[in-house]
Amino acid sequence: MKKKNSDASFGVIGLGRFGSALVQTLSEAGKEVIAIDKDERRVKAVRKYTDFAFVVDNLEQDTLESTGIQNCGAVTICIGEAIDVSILTTMLVIKMGIPSVIAKANSRAHGDVLKQLGAVVVYPEADMAVRIGKRLISSSLIDYISLDDNVEVRRIAVSGSMAGRSIQELNVRGVYGINIIAIEREHQTDVEFSPQYVFNEGDIVAVIGKADKIDRFEREIQN
């Protein structure tokens, strides 16, 4: 990898299921990826996605820098089980001055330490469990993104009393305190829509707002 900092290049340390999937996703999007793991089999497995896959036994600053990972615009540490290694590696990567550092955590306590170091923390297993739970609870929920301050973006299938009514008639901003940001119909997404738009069964609406307010909206439109 070229010896210059590039926002278009990414580093992934730890090539378990999460890390390997991340390498594949970034590579298929045309991004340059440095992949690192101590397990040679895992490294070989991702070499079909990147030419920059390295076996690194000791995650120390010198060995990490020998891979060129300090030149990445963002690095994700995908080490969840070995908490001490995860924390030390995150500390080293942040010390290198990499603009964006993301770290996987397997518990809230683990995540709290990573946050204190300055990393953005993700909880893949917990997030997936919540995602599945929400879909089981709500028959209309298709997907969601959780933001700070209990704000969510949700994709909701139009059903019940929502079908056949216009945006103006529903008045979701006034009644529920949430906003419609996109409407999907027949695999096309529209972000510029009229208040007179009438929802059809099969439409998907993307809304943003506080989670409890979206919950109320979902409950009432299903009737």
pTM score, whole prediction: 0.65
Query: Is pLDDT above 50 for 3?
Result: no
Query: Is pLDDT above 80 for 146?
Result: no
- Structural domains of the chain, ranges and CATH numbers in brackets: 6-122 (3.40.50.720), 127-221 (3.30.70.1450)
The segment with the largest mean pLDDT, out of 43-57, 113-127, 158-172, 204-218, is 43-57
Find, among 63, 32, 90, 7, the residue nearest to 23 by Cα. 32
What pLDDT score does 5 carry? 46
The DSSP element (H or E) to which 181 belongs, if any, is: strand 179-185
DSSP letters, 38-100, are S-HHHHHHHTTT-SEEEE-SS--HHHHHHTTGGGEEEEEE---S-HHHHHHHHHHHHHTT-SE
